[in-house]
Amino acid sequence: AQSVTQLGSHVSVSEGALVLLRCNYSSSVPPYLFWYVQYPNQGLQLLLKYTSAATLVKGINGFEAEFKKSETSFHLTKPSAHMSDAAEYFCAVSESGSFQKLVFGTGTRLLVSP
């Protein structure tokens, strides 16, 4: 069974600083990996996805993530944080071949200070 671990329930950065949100996964088969963002009282928006193509994935709003099989990681980064990036971020995994069912991590709240 798949699982996702997101280290750090809260991450605080200053505006303009590097954003790093960590995600480690467990899967018995090659995984598909996703990062979603959720703003208060809203649904989830897909930031980026890894589906066994390029290991460095670029997403929307300047975010990117790198799939590292040896480390079973899929960390999310952004070179320079904006105030508008403050939100909840979820990492999710699904099994290739059964790509529909998503398992979510516990989420990381990104706080951005001026």
Partner 1 sequence: GAVVSQHPSWVICKSGTSVKIECRSLDFQATTMFWYRQFPKQSLMLMATSNEGSKATYEQGVEKDKFLINHASLTLSTLTVTSAHPEDSSFYICSANPRDFFSYEQYFGPGTRLTVT
Q: Which residues bind partner 1 (CB under 8 A)?
A: 32, 34, 36, 41-46, 49, 51, 90, 94, 99-107
CB nearer to partner 1: give 4 or 13.
Answer: 4
**Could you tell me which residues are beta bridge partners of residue 44?**
38
Cα dihedral across residues 62, 59, 57, 23: positive or negative = positive
**Dihedrals φ, ψ of 62, to 5°?**
85, 5
Residues 102, 51 contacting (CB under 8 angstroms): no
CB nearer to partner 1: give 17 or 44.
Answer: 44
The minimum distance between CB 16 and partner 1, in angstroms, equals 27
The minimum distance between CB 4 and partner 1, in angstroms, equals 9
Maximum distance among all alpha carbons in the chain? Answer: 44
CB nearer to partner 1: give 48 or 81.
Answer: 48
